[in-house]
Amino acid sequence: MSRSRLWPVHLVLAIGAAAMVAPFFWEFLTSVQSFGESTRIPPTFVPSWEWSNYTRVFDSLPFGRQFLNTVLMTAGRTIAQLIFCALAGYAFARLKFPGRGFLFVLFLSVLMVPSQLFLIPQYQIVSELGWLNTLAALIVPGMFSAFGTFLLRQFFLGLPNDIEEAARIDGANPLRIFWHVMLPLARPGLLALGILTVLWSWNDLMWPLVVNTSPESMTLSAGLATLQGEHLTEYPVLMAGSLMATLPVIVIFVVAQKHLIQGIAFTGSK
């Protein structure tokens, strides 16, 4: 196709890219405005460069502690999901046992239920265990996901059977086949699930806001939500904190987007 015929496609992509970048640009502009500028109508596009808004975030929140809580929650959920979802996905894809199809249908049915319906039962369980305002309340409910199991199951189904049969002929048991043969081959799928879990966990708001009400035990998303007052919201400070909280996941996505695309593309090739 000639370059002259591609310009409509490039134009649409450019408009889409601008629409994606515009919120971040507006977030940055608001973060360096004064409070009066942030509420002005019509809005101003030439801020007064109030860089002190970034330091005020640390005065309004225990930002360092909440950042650490977010990192620990994200790391704990991601590592646990990679382990448990890989085991479950391999079992559904490669092992034959009674009720496998029925159990997998149950897993898929979980994906069709809104996550908000699990909020009250999960909260009651966490409360009975005495985990409120602890890292356990943030990590344990997110250690396993039906989506991760489905994603890795599809990935394992796409791997050739000959490799597994050769390992079985050599005397390897199912656990050894999984650990030494299939798991290394599933690296693209594991990377894709890991990246998605990091993004979802880092941006999770509702559950951390419900189970952890103490500022020292909150995550960044929940802590930033508390900056929204009932009568007044310091939008420049809120945007400054939101921008600092967003930068780590943007960097992770930019660096790892190639692996994410490869993993999802291979999963859908079966």
pLDDT tens digit sequence for 204-214:
999 999 999 89
The predicted structure's pLDDT at residue 124:
95
Question: Which residues are bridge partners to 228 per DSSP?
Answer: 233
Whole-model pTM: value is 0.86
- Distances in whole angstroms, Cα of residue 196 to Cα of each of 111, 147, 247, 259, 263: 16, 10, 16, 11, 11
| Rounded average pLDDT over 7-26 | 88
- From 1-10, 32-41, 139-148, the region with the lowest mean pLDDT: 1-10
- From 49-53, 159-163, 260-264, the region with the lowest mean pLDDT: 260-264
The predicted structure's pLDDT at residue 7:
78
The predicted structure's pLDDT at residue 232:
79
**Residue 73: which of 150, 152, 139 has the closest Cα?**
139
Q: Flag whether pLDDT at 266 surpasses 70.
A: no
- From 4-8, 21-25, 73-77, the region with the lowest mean pLDDT: 4-8
Amino acid of residue 141: P
The predicted structure's pLDDT at residue 143:
93
Q: Given pLDDT bands bounded at 50, 70 and 90, which one contains residue 132?
A: very high
Interval 62-92: pLDDT, tens = 999 999 999 999 999 999 999 999 999 999 9
Q: Given pLDDT bands bounded at 50, 70 and 90, which one contains residue 243?
A: very high
Helices (H) and strands (E) in the chain, counts: 15, 0
3-state secondary structure (DSSP) of residue 56: helix
Q: Given pLDDT bands bounded at 50, 70 and 90, which one contains residue 1?
A: low
Interval 30-49: pLDDT, tens = 999 888 888 888 887 778 88
Which pairs with CB-CB distance under 8 Å and at least 24 residues apart come from 65-68?
65/216, 66/215, 66/218, 66/219, 66/220, 66/222, 66/223, 67/220, 67/245
| Rounded average pLDDT over 253-265 | 71
